[in-house]
């Protein structure tokens, strides 16, 4: 299953390496700002010439990225469209689900200024290895762009949906776009981020409740027009094996979720930004956590906060991938050349395929330990045993801080 970008056919999001073909579909439950919007990645039945979804579904997402990066919308839309406009996700759009026993479940949480499609390399790989993955887009104004619907009363004023793949079932609904909210002048950041991380955790738990409903055979109404039959996923999930995973602000969301919901059996936190969290919740986190960090992003204060989650009872693991930057985890790292990638800090010194492969294999090995999966061939990576890994952190912590 291949994909390409218009400006350079050699740059693409890598397909999954596992034994399963991967499908994906969008699900919105509840059309208002209080609804749940996620992308499902799942093992699917093989098909010839599958439709591959666009990586960035429509221009509003480019506008949101421009706002987040403090760039001019008109100029950046042209740049982004040139660089990424024809990029595809290596997953079959609305492909038939592949029943094969019970699959474990992962909820994936994006970082600040991202949205549901930007970590597709990770999500596709996990689905190819036999997981059902739900990547959430939040309506807490931490996404660069997302949308919900409102009912309209005057038919003549209805806007045509921006995204062909996100048309509502009802003719009575029109899109409302929500963009990233920057800090106001003089505004303290912690209250906003702390409120957002709590809302994010609530949205993850709501998404999990929806998966429970689908698994039990309850009728779940998708607000979006969709050819994927959710009822085919009935009794297909092992809901005793659920993990929460995320990057940066999504890593903080992982920890908040573990504190709030014991159904999450473990967490994988990629280059976590610890700032949004109340340290008071740390003693309430009883599940195993795996911190996978980049070499260039972390700093003493952030690592110290991670170390405060150390426990003699509950497993806490940490590794650092050499030559990586904070953006080595989202898909951008595969879709930019070396010059632009280094300039915009989307690429580190290490080959991005090697870096993400190490991260994914270490993740799978950790999930094997926590969820009884069969990926123990990569067990040494959990302890940083590889030439491109550092056990623990590359940051020197002053003894007085420990």
Measured in whole angstroms, the distance separating CA 26 from the mean position of its chain's CA atoms is 14
Report the C-alpha gap between 73 and 64 in whole angstroms: 8
| CA pair distance 160, 183, nearest whole angstrom | 31
| DSSP 8-state secondary structure symbol assigned to residue 184 | P
Pairing of the two strands 103-109 and 132-137: parallel
Catalytic residue among 20, 31, 110, 326: 326
Burial zone of 379 (CB within 10 Å; 0-12 exposed, 13-18 middle, 19+ buried): middle
Q: What share of the chain is helix, strand, coil (3-state, %, to 5)?
A: 35, 20, 45
Half-sphere exposure (Cβ direction) of 371: Cα atoms closer than 13 Å: 31
Yes or no: say if 171 and 60 are a contact pair by the CB < 8 Å rule.
no
Q: Which one from 248, 294, 328, 359 is the annotated catalytic residue?
A: 248
For this structure, is 229 an active site residue? no
DSSP assignment letter at 238: E
Q: Give me the residues paired with residue 289 across strands.
A: 267, 316
Longest dimension (CA), the chain: 67
Cβ atoms 366, 317 nearer than 8 A: yes
Asked about 34 being catalytic, the answer comes back as no
Adjacency order of strands within the sheet including 389-391: 92-93, 21-29, 36-44, 132-137, 103-109, 237-247, 266-270, 289-294, 316-321, 389-391
Residue 359 annotated to the active site: no
Query: What would the two tokens of residue 68 be?
Result: 């987040």
SS (H, E, C) 352-366: HHHHHHHHHHHHHHH
Helix 352-371 vs helix 120-128: crossing angle, to nearest 10 = 50
- 45 contacts 98 by C-beta, under 8 angstroms: yes
Q: Assess contact for 298 and 305: CB atoms under 8 A.
A: no
Reference 138, options 126, 146, 130; nearest CA is 146
Pick the catalytic residue from 271, 294, 328, 331: 271
Residues designated as active site: 248, 271, 326
């Amino acid at each position: 299953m291949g994909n390409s970008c218009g400006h350079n056919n050699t740059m693409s999001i890598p397909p999954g390496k596992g034994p399963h073909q991967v499908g994906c579909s969008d699900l919105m439950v509840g059309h208002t700002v209080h609804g749940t919007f996620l992308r499902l990645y799942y093992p699917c039945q093989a098909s010839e010439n599958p439709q591959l979804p666009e990586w960035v579904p429509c221009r509003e997402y480019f506008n949101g990225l421009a706002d987040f990066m403090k760039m001019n919308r008109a100029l950046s839309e042209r740049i982004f469209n040139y660089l990424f406009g024809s990029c595809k996700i290596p997953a079959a759009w609305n492909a038939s689900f592949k029943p094969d026993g019970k699959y474990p479940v992962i909820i994936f949480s994006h970082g600040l200024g991202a949205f549901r499609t930007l970590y597709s390399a990770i999500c596709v790989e996990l689905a190819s290895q036999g997981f059902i993955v739900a990547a959430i887009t939040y309506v807490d104004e931490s996404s660069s762009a997302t949308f919900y619907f409102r009912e309209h009363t005057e038919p003549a004023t209805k806007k045509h949906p921006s995204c062909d793949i996100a048309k509502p079932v009802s003719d009575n609904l029109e899109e409302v776009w929500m963009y990233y909210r920057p800090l106001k002048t003089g505004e303290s950041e912690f209250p906003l981020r702390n409120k957002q991380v709590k809302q994010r955790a609530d949205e993850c738990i709501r998404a999990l409740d929806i998966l429970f409903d689908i698994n039990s055979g309850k009728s779940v109404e998708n607000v979006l027009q969709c050819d994927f039959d959710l009822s085919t996923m009935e009794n297909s999930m092992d809901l005793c094996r659920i993990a929460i995973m995320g990057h940066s602000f999504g890593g903080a969301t992982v920890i908040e979720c573990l504190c709030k919901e014991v159904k999450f059996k473990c967490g994988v936190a990629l280059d976590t930004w610890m700032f949004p969290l109340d340290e008071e919740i740390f003693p309430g986190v009883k599940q195993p956590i795996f911190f996978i960090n980049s070499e260039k992003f972390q700093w003493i204060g952030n690592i110290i906060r991670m170390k405060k989650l150390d426990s003699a009872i509950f497993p806490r693991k940490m590794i650092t991938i050499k030559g990586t930057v904070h953006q080595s985890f989202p898909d951008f790292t595969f879709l930019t050349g070396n010059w632009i990638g280094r300039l915009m800090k989307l690429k580190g010194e290490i080959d991005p395929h090697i870096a993400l492969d190490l991260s994914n294999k270490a993740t799978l090995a950790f999930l094997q330990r926590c969820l009884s999966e069969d990926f123990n061939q990569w067990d040494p990576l959990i302890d940083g045993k590889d030439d491109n890994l550092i056990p623990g952190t590359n940051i020197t912590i002053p003894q007085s801080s420990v």
